[in-house]
Amino acid sequence: MDYPRAGKRGFRRWLPSWKLVTGTFLLFVGAGVGLFGYAYATTTIPSANPSTQAQSNTYYWSDGSVMTTQGSTNRQNVDLSQVPKSVQWDFLAAENATFYTDPGVDTRGMLRAVYHMATGGEVQSGSTITQQFVKNTYLTQNQSVTRKFREIMISLKIGGQMSKPQILQGYLNSCYYGRDAYGIEAAARTYYHEHASQLTVSQGAFIAATVNEPSLLMHADSDPRAKAQATARWKYVLQRMAKINKITAAQEQQYLAAGFPTPKPYSPSAGMSGQTGYLMQTAEKYVEAHTSLTDQQLGRGGYQIYTTFDKKRVKALSASVAAMQKKHLDPKHRSADKDVQVGAASIDPSTGAVVALYGGAGWDKGHWTNNADTTGVPVGSTFKPIDLAAALDHGAVLSPGRPASPITPDSKFDGDDGITIKNQQGQELPDPGDATGLLHQRNDVPTKWGYITLRKAMEQSVNTPYVQLGEYVGYDNVENEALKAGLLRKSLQYDTPGFYIGTSTPSAIRMADAYATFDDSGVQHEPYSVTKVVADGAQLPGFGKPKGTTAMPSSTADTVTDVLQSVVKSGTGTNAKALGRPVAGKTGTTDDYKSAWFIGYTPQLVTSVAMFKEDPKNAGLQSMGGVGGYSKVFGADMPTEVWTGYMTAALQGQPLQQFPPAPTLGQGTDETGAPSPSPSVTATQSTPSASASPSVTPNPSTRPCHGRKKRCVSPGPTDTSGTTTGGAGGGLFGGATGGGTTGGGAPGGGSTGGGTTGGTTSPAPTTSPSAQAGGVPGGAAG
């Protein structure tokens, strides 16, 4: 190599000769060709990226059948022959008009893109259809020089193994088009509710446009900015189609004159209609809570999720809600019926499995909130069983400075309206808003109940005894009882007297679970909705059946169940007797009728039903006064009707079972001031005999119960409810009986269910609920 050049002087000594320039150039070209050839020869086409093959998440019913599929890979591959030629050319005109003649890469575009990325400039594509197919199917979306070089090599080589139609087919099926649509078939369905084979040139031009900016253009039906950008891109595609002679100029003008083909409004897939969306959402939340999986990971799909949801029971619950709505609600002709909502949950008390939910009208109807799992709806009087359980477990401080006294359902407390409430120190609670400066707990009516048993107060949902009982037991004890039963601390209201009569706002699922603790003789099972999750053929850990824990003594739980049977036999819950089985339950209604509940159970199944009214556009509960034509809406009415209709279907064919017998309790203590008990009374047995005859008696041939979790099974009920009179109905006030239910009104009065809304407790939150109270003189329906 003659350099610097010998025999030359000055700048010519450093000026390379033409031989040196040519040789150097040829050397570099040869080296480049050699390296390129080596790279080409050693490049292999990798296996398709698993993410491009992943299925949507699949959710299964409890019987193993498919419930729905959902995920980010909503893809149904189609053959290229199923895509109209004109629509194929929409994509080629927009992205790569020389597709059928180029080698798979755009050399100028490639060099431009590599240069910009290498120098830190703006990232540019420069990709052909073939390159995009390679990137989607075999590589990642990362922008780097290395990844771009591999893309080019594979794109050049793949032409030897795949035909152009095969590549185009793979491209159309692998692109993401927005709206969770992968592939042109899914895109055609989500944007125009058509198959890919039915797309027009104009529609195809828009879908081709979405490939560049799917997250924006997917909203072209509703977002003005997105529609403007989509329209501009759509026009560009049509212009390109005319320029490459795939449509005529006249056709272009015809399409433009017809206007932009606005896509259909976005809605979830048909698989998310009815209750399916809420079921899937509930299961998804459970999976995330019991694994390290995130929304994004689940969104990539490929998971098989087996749930506890019973298809027939979900359908039955939805049908029962629909039947109630059809019978009572007419929002087109009665404004009060607008925005009325229902939430419900049904749980197996022996395991905690959530077998059915009702979350609302459905995702397909634009109702996205799961009413079964939402908080914000006060539970009202359905909280009182927790007060009673806490009193049975901890007793009540009836005299200042003295130990807590034992409490039974036969303990008597003042049930009169407007009494002052005392704390454990014997001090009357203050109320700055009252003229006397003291808190006067209100019932709905000024009925002179006098001192009544806690059983009677539960039956007729009288507020004052349970507010006073709660104060004597103590907030901490009642709160802890609620937590052990299965309620979440975040849903419990702060320490005010209203807490004891339902200012808290647990979900329907959690209230059903708390009652399931009573049903299973004090054993609490965490509610669960997923039994198994499989990914890549392997089962993920963490989805075994939750183990039960003892939340309260069986004697406490069984006593509460016994009292709640009295509510159904002769109190505000008598409408639930229509089930024809042993039932325990409680109604609940809150201030101004902003919510109404019924929670009831048999030995096999617990179901909670909540009803409320809320405008989706304006948060905050509204009064349900006038809903369904009722001036006052109680839990004993429409919610109980939903409950009874569902439970009838859900338990069809199931054996009739009895609750455990009520335990024998020691002598309970009355509130100070109550009349002295009869000297002959030395102990009490927590049975409903003091208030009502049993509605169902065991068959004499049935074997007895053994153990607290055993159920007595009899072949059929013996219903004696129609003969219930006197005693419990009139109690101290001589109420009347009507239609086999016991009244609870004032002297000479009657009450069929005995419930109107109780008054507010002050001070209390703005949504401070009360609960259903005793009957109105003359008989108010509960």
Most confident residue range from 16-20, 166-170, 268-272, 579-583: 579-583
User: What burial letters (b/e) apply to 528-555, b meaning 16+ CB within 10 Å?
Assistant: bbbbebbbeeeebeebeeeebeebbbbb
- The answer to whether 405 and 669 are in contact (CB under 8 A) is yes
> What span, in angstroms and rounded, lies between the C-alpha atoms of 586 and 572?
8
Angle between helices 85-95 and 201-210 (to 10 degrees): 40
Residue 346 φ/ψ, nearest 5 degrees: -130, 130
Please say if the pLDDT value at position 64 is more than 60: yes
Instruction: Give the residue among 346, 613, 563 at the shortest CA–CA distance from 459.
Output: 563
Is residue 564 domain-resident? no
Q: In the predicted model, what is the mean pLDDT of residues 538-545? A: 89
Q: In the predicted model, what is the mean pLDDT of residues 588-594? A: 92
Is residue 60 domain-resident? no
Q: What is the CA radius of gyration of the chain?
A: 36
Indicate the pairing of strand 684-685 with strand 712-714. unpaired
**CB neighbours of 369 closer than 8 A, spacing ≥ 6?**
359, 360
Is residue 28 domain-resident? yes
Q: Give the tens place of pLDDT for each residue, 650-689.
A: 999 999 999 999 999 988 999 999 887 654 444 444 444 3
Is residue 538 domain-resident? no
H/E element, 596: strand 595-601
Model confidence band, residue 46 (pLDDT cutoffs 50, 70, 90) = low
Tokens of residue 347, six digits = 């749980």
Please say if the pLDDT value at position 406 is more than 90: yes
pLDDT for 135 equals 78
pLDDT for 186 equals 81
Please say if the pLDDT value at position 31 is more than 90: no
Is residue 380 domain-resident? no
Q: In the predicted model, what is the mean pLDDT of residues 341-370? A: 95
Please say if the pLDDT value at position 492 is more than 70: yes
H/E element, 254: helix 249-258
- The answer to whether 465 and 388 are in contact (CB under 8 A) is no
The owner of tokens 């809304």 is 757
Is residue 184 domain-resident? no
Please say if the pLDDT value at position 575 is more than 80: yes
pLDDT for 51 equals 59
Indicate the pairing of strand 595-601 with strand 606-615. antiparallel
pLDDT for 581 equals 97
- Provide the strand spans (E) within 19-142: 57-60, 66-70, 74-75
Q: Which domain holds residue 35?
A: 10-42
Distance of CA 656 to the CA centre of its chain: 31
Q: Give the tens place of pLDDT for each residue, 428-460.
A: 999 988 899 999 998 877 789 999 999 999 999
Distance set, CA 764 to CA 419, 464, 592, 707, 770 (Å): 17, 15, 14, 43, 10
Mean pLDDT rounded to a whole number for the chain: 81
Please say if the pLDDT value at position 421 is more than 50: yes
Q: In the predicted model, what is the mean pLDDT of residues 70-77? A: 68
DSSP state of 364: G
Angle between helices 224-243 and 85-95 (to 10 degrees): 100
Q: In the predicted model, what is the mean pLDDT of residues 95-111? A: 78
Q: Give the tens place of pLDDT for each residue, 113-159.
A: 556 555 554 444 458 888 888 877 776 544 455 555 566 667 667 77
> What span, in angstroms and rounded, lies between the C-alpha atoms of 374 and 392?
30
Please say if the pLDDT value at position 74 is more than 50: yes
Model confidence band, residue 506 (pLDDT cutoffs 50, 70, 90) = very high
> What span, in angstroms and rounded, lies between the C-alpha atoms of 316 and 312?
6
How many domains, in total, are found in the chain? 1
Is residue 417 domain-resident? no
Is residue 322 domain-resident? no
Full DSSP string of 125-164 = ----HHHHHHHHHHS-S---HHHHHHHHHHHHHHTTTS-H
Tokens of residue 493, six digits = 């209201």
Q: Give the tens place of pLDDT for each residue, 262-294.
A: 999 987 666 788 999 999 999 999 999 999 887
> What span, in angstroms and rounded, lies between the C-alpha atoms of 252 and 250?
5
Q: Which pTM does this prediction carry?
A: 0.64
